[in-house]
């Protein structure tokens, strides 16, 4: 009798877990196309534009060529292994010029350079732009720090430092708080074949690490598949594309984080862009989980893309207690597949993808 | 032993029904806001604009004040106070409010309008309006003549039939002839049971001006109808199944032959076939779960969505392949429970079951 109850319980738990996975896979979902205005691909980006960071003077830094295979058995399209890690520059003040490839320092090429999340920090005293880049080296996870001098650089990046910390397990995004202090996300605990099991069992082993000026990393938050980071007036944000939620943390003076809200966004939000003027949060997103996975196993299979704007509507002391969600861009994969990032300047939109193109849109509709 | 088997069978059946109904229910759907251009509500409509019919010169007739007679206890009591009306909106003068159309005297006290359609005589410009009227005792189809100068309707005939079990929408194909869709059989509180169990008691009736005949039978979940540009195909929406069924129309007797079904992926309500482009415009409910909550309490917002189905196939089989677009999405604050959408020259009108009417300029 007891065994029957135990068996029933196990079956119920398994069924509920399968239901959760089915929701993540999004077999029940359909994508409806709509654009905010005229959109076109930005030349010559073809191997992804996974993350975008916007500097003070409307220059967008774009990481490209991300190689995502972590396990020989994960079925990733072998063409992705041939991708070349690059940083592109796109000038919103001159959108017709397309994206230009930045000159990287010697040593930042081949298996040594596999860029993922990026962020900028502007030093107003020196006029220098610092660029933090998550780098999946062949055998370790690092964060590279570069500088860019708009006036004297001829489009090149100078390498300043490589950060290595034992807390760097499976890095995804980086958030700069000064030229010497930043946060990173581990989107999981494992970096290898165990990652698949970690995903299937929906384990909450991802974390946010705080790296201070003094050196050393400290885990300041954990959660389910945390991905991208952003900040705005004392708050830090973290997305979860698998969990389909946005975490809002209060940032304490010592750099630790306190979770205030976990907001269900209903779609796989990836990289976050905090609008410098409106404080709205913009996301590149993956609306249908299984289509995203199919695209990674075969780059010719389109995956739907989506851009979401989250507008906080709560009181001044707790703005994210209630939110409005806008969908600025939705595509079946015809124009761009697996949109992972977005940057906004005025009424113009730049949309980046995990493994594919970069798209520029004019937003004609006041949204 | 028999008892155990029966319980298991019922449990399996219930599970299967939950599985079939749940995508349409949309518990996890979010109503993302997006617009094709500037949008606003159209005064003075606040008690519904369930269906819209659009003439070829941009005049829209809208049914308003629908009181669904399907288990009143489940619905917000405010709905019982709604007044049935027909409004007129002119796309050529969109800044103007919607104007109430004078009803025939015979119908003033017994008017509960649902689906609407129209027929225009190509040579004389005479206009007939066909309205599904849930009268106190039966569902009738009111065939009315529109007087343009007086902005009034006069009753030509009131069609009754035992085949009208629960009429939802109407599609006029001549000054005297039409198709009527029955969305089910039972009224009152047996209807929720009919839906949950999935009883196939819906049908489509063809009235040729003299006699009524059943042209589609033993179907569940039928809702709205539209005619293709060339008049040879009939589109029929199925809400929970999230599908449009396409039928070929027999010229001799109006019979319908099923051609294909297209999946739309959302709970669609009323359908409008654009006579210029062949696109199908649909009012849809992103979440039937939130819609049912909205109908129980009108203060609860239900997310709205307009879907445009754009055919990509050749002339012989237009909907063999198609693209799905959505020009409008709302979380319910501008319009809740969008049930219909019509398009005219880069402008759009969106109707709702029990809420507002929205007008949008389409600039993208």
Question: Is A224 within 8 Å of A242 (Cβ atoms)?
Answer: yes
Q: Give me the pLDDT at residue B316, please.
A: 84
Contact B265 A30 (CB under 8 A): yes
Residue in chain B lying closest to A361 (CA):
B364
Contact B324 A29 (CB under 8 A): no
CA atoms within 13 A on the CB side of B252: 1
Please state the three-class secondary structure of A46-95 as a single string.
Answer: CCCCCEEEECCCCEEEEEECCCCCCCCCCCCCHHHHHCCCEEEEEECCCH
Average pLDDT, chain A: 94
Comparing CB atoms, the residue among A28, A36, A266 nearest residue B364 is A36
Q: Give me the pLDDT at residue B71, please.
A: 85
Alpha-carbon gap, residue A24 to A290, rounded angstroms: 8
* CATH (domain of B173): 2.120.10.30
Sheet holding B347-352, edge to edge: B39-41, B358-361, B347-352, B338-344
Confidence of residue A127 (pLDDT cuts 50, 70, 90): confident
Task: Give the contacts of B277 (CB within 8 A, at least 6 positions apart).
Answer: B310
* Residue A367 sits at the chain B interface (C-beta within 8 Å): yes
Contact A330 B326 (CB under 8 A): yes
Question: Is B319 within 8 Å of B311 (Cβ atoms)?
Answer: yes
Q: Give me the pLDDT at residue A153, please.
A: 65
Of A11-25, A102-116, B148-162, the range with the highest mean pLDDT is B148-162
* Domains of chain B: total: 1
Q: Give how far Cα A305 sits from Cα of A212, B6, B83, Å.
A: 36, 47, 44
Q: What is the ipTM of this complex?
A: 0.93
Is the pLDDT at A162 greater than 70, yes or no?
yes
Buried b (16+ CB within 10 A) or exposed e, A251-274: beeeeebeeebebebbbbbbbbbb
A202 closest CA partner among A240, A246, A236, A247: A240
Contact A266 B324 (CB under 8 A): no
Q: Give me the pLDDT at residue B40, please.
A: 97
Confidence of residue A157 (pLDDT cuts 50, 70, 90): very high
Q: In which residue ranges of chain B is pLDDT below 70?
A: 23-24
Give B-chain residues touching A32 at CB under 8 angstroms: 265-266, 305, 307, 324-326
A85 closest CA partner among A40, A39, A129, A142: A142
* Residue A31 sits at the chain B interface (C-beta within 8 Å): yes
Q: Give me the pLDDT at residue B322, please.
A: 97
Count CB atoms within 10 A of the CB of residue A1: 5
**Which helix (H) or strand (E) segment is B325 a member of?**
strand B322-330
Residues in chain B: 364
- For residue A350, the cross-strand partners are A343, A360
B71 burial (CB, 10 Å; 0-12 / 13-18 / 19+) is middle
* Residue A134 sits at the chain B interface (C-beta within 8 Å): no
Catalytic residue among B114, B134, B285, B294: B114
For β-strands B267-273 and B256-263, DSSP reports them as unpaired
Contact A364 B363 (CB under 8 A): yes
CA trace torsion B228, B133, B286, B256 (10° rounding): -30
- For residue B359, the cross-strand partners are B40, B349
pLDDT in tens, A194-223: 998 999 999 999 999 999 988 788 999 999
Is B317 marked within a binding site? no
Contact B33 A325 (CB under 8 A): yes
* Residue A35 sits at the chain B interface (C-beta within 8 Å): yes
Q: Give how far Cα B115 sits from Cα of A145, A238, B36, B295, B303, Å.
A: 65, 47, 26, 18, 21
Give A-chain residues touching B324 at CB under 8 angstroms: 30-33, 332
Residue in chain A lying closest to B241 (CA):
A28
* Residue A259 sits at the chain B interface (C-beta within 8 Å): no
Specify the range with the lowest mean pLDDT, choosing from A140-144, A187-191, A211-215, A354-358: A211-215
Give A-chain residues touching B364 at CB under 8 angstroms: 34-37, 364-365
Confidence of residue A78 (pLDDT cuts 50, 70, 90): very high
Q: Give how far Cα B66 sits from Cα of A89, B60, B181, B282, Å.
A: 57, 17, 17, 19
Confidence of residue A70 (pLDDT cuts 50, 70, 90): confident
Specify the range with the lowest mean pLDDT, choosing from A98-112, A149-163, B257-271: A149-163
B262 closest CA partner among B300, B235, B223, B232: B235
Give B-chain residues touching A265 at CB under 8 angstroms: 30
Alpha-carbon gap, residue B288 to B294, rounded angstroms: 9
B362–chain A nearest CA distance, Å: 9
Comparing CB atoms, the residue among A34, A324, A328 nearest residue B326 is A34
B221–chain A nearest CA distance, Å: 19
- For residue B268, the cross-strand partners are B284
**Which helix (H) or strand (E) segment is A39 a member of?**
strand A39-41
Alpha-carbon gap, residue A66 to A188, rounded angstroms: 17
Residue in chain B lying closest to A31 (CA):
B324
Residues of B with CB under 8 A from a CB of A: 22-23, 28-38, 263-266, 305, 307, 323-327, 329, 331, 363-364
* Residue A32 sits at the chain B interface (C-beta within 8 Å): yes
Residue B294 is a catalytic residue: no
Is the pLDDT at A361 greater than 90, yes or no?
yes
- Find the mean pLDDT for residues A67-82: 91
Q: Which domain holds residue B140?
A: 2-361
Comparing CB atoms, the residue among B37, B263, B307 nearest residue A32 is B307
Task: Give the contacts of B334 (CB within 8 A, at least 6 positions apart).
Answer: B39, B41, B304, B356, B358
Is the pLDDT at A367 greater than 80, yes or no?
no
Contact B363 A32 (CB under 8 A): no
B76 closest CA partner among B283, B303, B354: B354
Alpha-carbon gap, residue B167 to B161, rounded angstroms: 11
Alpha-carbon gap, residue B51 to B62, rounded angstroms: 6
Give A-chain residues touching B23 at CB under 8 angstroms: 28
């Amino acid at each position: 009798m007891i065994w029957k109850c135990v068996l029933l319980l196990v079956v119920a738990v398994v069924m509920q877990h399968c239901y959760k996975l089915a929701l993540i896979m999004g077999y029940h979902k359909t994508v409806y196309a709509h654009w905010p205005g005229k959109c076109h691909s930005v030349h010559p980006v073809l191997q992804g534009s996974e993350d975008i960071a916007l500097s003070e003077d409307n220059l967008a830094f774009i990481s490209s060529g991300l190689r995502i295979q972590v396990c020989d058995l994960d079925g990733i399209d072998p063409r992705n292994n041939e991708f070349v890690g690059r940083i592109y520059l796109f000038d919103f003040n001159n959108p017709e010029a397309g994206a230009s490839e930045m000159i990287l320092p010697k040593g930042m090429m081949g298996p040594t350079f596999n860029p993922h999340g990026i962020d900028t920090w502007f030093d107003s005293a020196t006029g220098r732009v610092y660029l933090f880049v998550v780098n999946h080296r062949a055998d370790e996870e690092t964060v590279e720090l570069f500088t860019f001098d708009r006036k004297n650089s001829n489009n090149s990046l100078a390498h300043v430092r490589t950060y290595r910390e034992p807390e760097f397990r499976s890095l995804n995004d980086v958030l700069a708080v000064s030229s010497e202090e930043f946060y990173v996300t581990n989107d999981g605990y494992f970096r290898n074949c165990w990652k698949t099991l970690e995903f299937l069992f929906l384990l909450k082993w991802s974390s946010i690490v705080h790296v201070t000026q003094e050196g050393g990393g400290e885990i300041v938050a954990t959660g389910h598949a945390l991905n991208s980071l952003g900040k705005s007036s004392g708050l830090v944000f973290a997305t979860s594309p698998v969990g389909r939620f946005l975490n809002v943390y209060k940032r304490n003076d010592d750099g630790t984080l306190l979770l205030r809200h976990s907001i269900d966004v209903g779609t796989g939000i990836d990289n976050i862009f905090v609008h410098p003027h409106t404080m709205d949060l913009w996301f590149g997103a993956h609306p249908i989980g299984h289509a995203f996975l199919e695209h990674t196993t075969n780059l010719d299979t389109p995956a739907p893309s989506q851009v979401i704007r989250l507008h906080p509507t709560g009181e001044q002391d707790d703005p994210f207690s209630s939110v409005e969600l806008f969908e600025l861009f939705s595509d079946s994969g015809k124009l761009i597949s697996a949109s992972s990032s977005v940057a906004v300047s005025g009424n113009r939109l730049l949309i980046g993808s995990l493994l594919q193109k970069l798209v520029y849109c004019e937003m004609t509709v006041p949204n | 032993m028999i008892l155990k088997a029966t319980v298991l069978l019922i449990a399996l059946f219930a599970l299967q029904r939950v599985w079939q109904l749940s995508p349409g229910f949309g518990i996890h759907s979010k109503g993302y806001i997006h617009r094709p251009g500037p949008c606003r509500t159209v005064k003075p409509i606040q008690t519904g604009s369930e269906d819209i019919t659009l003439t070829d010169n941009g005049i829209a007739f809208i049914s308003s004040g629908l009181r669904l007679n399907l288990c009143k206890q489940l619905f917000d009591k405010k709905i019982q106070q709604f007044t049935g009306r027909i409004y007129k909106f002119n796309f050529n003068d969109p800044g103007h409010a919607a104007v109430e159309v004078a009803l025939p005297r015979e119908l003033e006290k017994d008017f509960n309008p649902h689906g609407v359609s129209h027929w225009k005589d190509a040579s004389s410009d005479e206009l007939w309006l066909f309205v599904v009227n849930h009268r106190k005792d039966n569902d009738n189809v009111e065939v009315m003549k529109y007087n343009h100068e007086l902005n009034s309707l006069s009753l030509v005939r009131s069609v009754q039939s035992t085949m009208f079990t629960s009429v939802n929408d109407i599609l006029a194909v001549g000054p005297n002839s039409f198709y009527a869709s029955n969305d089910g059989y039972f009224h009152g509180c047996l209807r929720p049971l009919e839906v949950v169990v999935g009883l196939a008691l819906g049908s489509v009736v063809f009235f040729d001006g003299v006699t009524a005949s059943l042209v589609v039978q033993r179907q569940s979940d039928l809702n709205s109808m539209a005619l293709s540009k060339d008049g040879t195909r009939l589109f029929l929406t199925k809400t929970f199944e999230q599908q449009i069924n396409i039928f070929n129309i027999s010229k001799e007797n109006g019979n319908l032959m099923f051609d294909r079904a297209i999946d739309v992926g959302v709970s669609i309500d009323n359908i409008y076939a654009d006579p210029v482009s062949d696109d199908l415009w649909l009012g849809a409910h992103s979440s039937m779960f939130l819609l049912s909550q909205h109908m129980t309490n009108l203060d609860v917002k239900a997310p709205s969505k307009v879907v445009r189905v754009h055919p990509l196939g050749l002339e012989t089989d237009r909907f063999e392949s198609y693209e799905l677009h959505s020009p409008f999405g709302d979380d319910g604050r501008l319009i809740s429970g969008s049930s219909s959408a019509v398009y005219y020259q880069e402008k759009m009108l969106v109707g709702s079951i029990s809420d507002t009417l929205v007008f949008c300029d389409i600039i993208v």
